[in-house]
Amino acid sequence: MVQERTLPQFHAPAAQIAPEEGLRLYEDMILGRFFEDKCAEMYYRGKMFGFVHLYNGQEAVSSGVIKSLRSDDYVCSTYRDHVHALSAGVPAKNVMAELFGKETGCSKGRGGSMHLFSSEHNMLGGFAFIGEGIPVALGAAFQSRYRRDALGDSSADQVTACFFGDGTTNNGQFFECLNMAALWKLPILFVVENNKWAIGMAHERATSQPEIYKKAAVFGMPGVEVDGMDVMAVREVAQQAVARARAGEGPTLIEALTYRFRGHSLADPDELRSKAEKEAWLARDPIKRFEGYLLEQNLADEGTLKEVRDRIQTRIDDALTFAEESPEPSPDDLYKYIFADE
């Protein structure tokens, strides 16, 4: 048997979610899963290049957190950013086109898989270097507080959700930003997606205190652990953290215990993780689990769920066609976007 950390228990009564809301979460998780599956296919067919990090297995975190935000809130991600961008509302076709390096991509084909941006959707970015997105997210959160308290704009109550992995919590920017966020009571959620591995470095080999949520306490901020394979549980802690942030009560550190179902990137042979470990986590697939929940609680029937899947499959297929048919950036524009006002 694999020795696993005891997962926090969460019991969601049916009353906690309306059927439409359940379907919205389900659709978002399916979108993430199907999108990533298509990426793997395209990568292996030589249509996509560079490092491509897929999110399979972690969908409950993106959907549970980002679907608890408003559309004017901010999202900040890492190199594993496709699904965060999708949850934040960046259309699948523009994400797919970006991965194809096309002019219609959300970063105009200049960014690629690890650099997805959309100012329209307050998607602050995919950040390819470990930890470097955390200060940027902090800046967006500072901006909300600045508008509210320095400029007196009472409508400036936007919250920022900042995602990163377990390995990243050993980087100084994590600690520096926890400190500043707590110090200035900034409206930010630090969402650690603890998938137990940083490429080939097992979490407990890299850190002296593997329970990351406990690191919040020394900064005087709440830290919560949550079953990252349970979208209802993630949603619950996210909603509480968002409410606190919006009310001006400051940041929260959320540690979601989760697992990636594929290698670190599509270039990773994934030889270090044991079969037993993978199987144990695959059995906890967040999408299957949420399907079961929706059916059990009579929030949806099989037909409705299939309709969602079919609709999303069509959207992915359309995104693919869009990406394939879109033009590449013009060589004349090689220098475009270096400086603003050009």
Ligand X SMILES: Cc1ncc(C[n+]2csc(CCOP(=O)(O)OP(=O)(O)O)c2C)c(N)n1
The CA distance from 77 to 161, in Å, is 9
Q: In the 8-state DSSP scheme, what is residue 195?
A: -
Q: Are 191 and 134 in contact (CB under 8 A)?
A: no
- Of positions 34, 197, 290, 293, contacts ligand X by CB under 6 A: 197
Binding mask 151-180 for Mg ion (x = CB under 5 A): --------------xx--------------
- C-alpha pair distances (Å), 329 with each of 107, 108, 321: 11, 7, 17
CB of 121 to another protein, least distance (A): 10
Question: Residue 168: which of Mg ion, another protein, ligand X, none does it interact with, CB under 5 to 8 A by kind?
Answer: ligand X
Question: Residue 96: which of Mg ion, another protein, ligand X, none does it interact with, CB under 5 to 8 A by kind?
Answer: none
CB of 55 to ligand X, least distance (A): 8
Q: Where are the alpha helices (DSSP H) in the chain?
A: 19-44, 59-66, 82-87, 92-99, 133-145, 172-183, 203-206, 231-246, 275-282, 286-296, 302-325
For another protein, give the closer residue by CB, 145 or 262.
145
CB of 51 to ligand X, least distance (A): 8
Q: Are strands 201-202 and 223-227 parallel, antiparallel or unpaired?
A: unpaired
| Contacts of ligand X in 117-136 (CB under 6 A) | 128-130
Give the number of residues in contact with Mg ion, rule: CB under 5 A. 4
Comparing CA positions, the residue from 225, 229, 222, 292 lying closest to residue 258 is: 229
3-state secondary structure 33-55: HHHHHHHHHHHHCCCCCCCCCCC
| Contacts of ligand X in 66-95 (CB under 6 A) | 80
Binding mask 114-153 for another protein (x = CB under 8 A): -x-xxx----xx-x-x--x-xxxxxxxxxx-xx--xxx--
Which positions touch another protein (CB under 8 A)?
74, 76, 105-111, 115, 117-119, 124-125, 127, 129, 132, 134-143, 145-146, 149-151, 172-173, 176-177, 179-180, 183, 336-341
Which positions touch ligand X (CB under 6 A)?
80, 128-130, 164-168, 193, 195, 197-199, 264
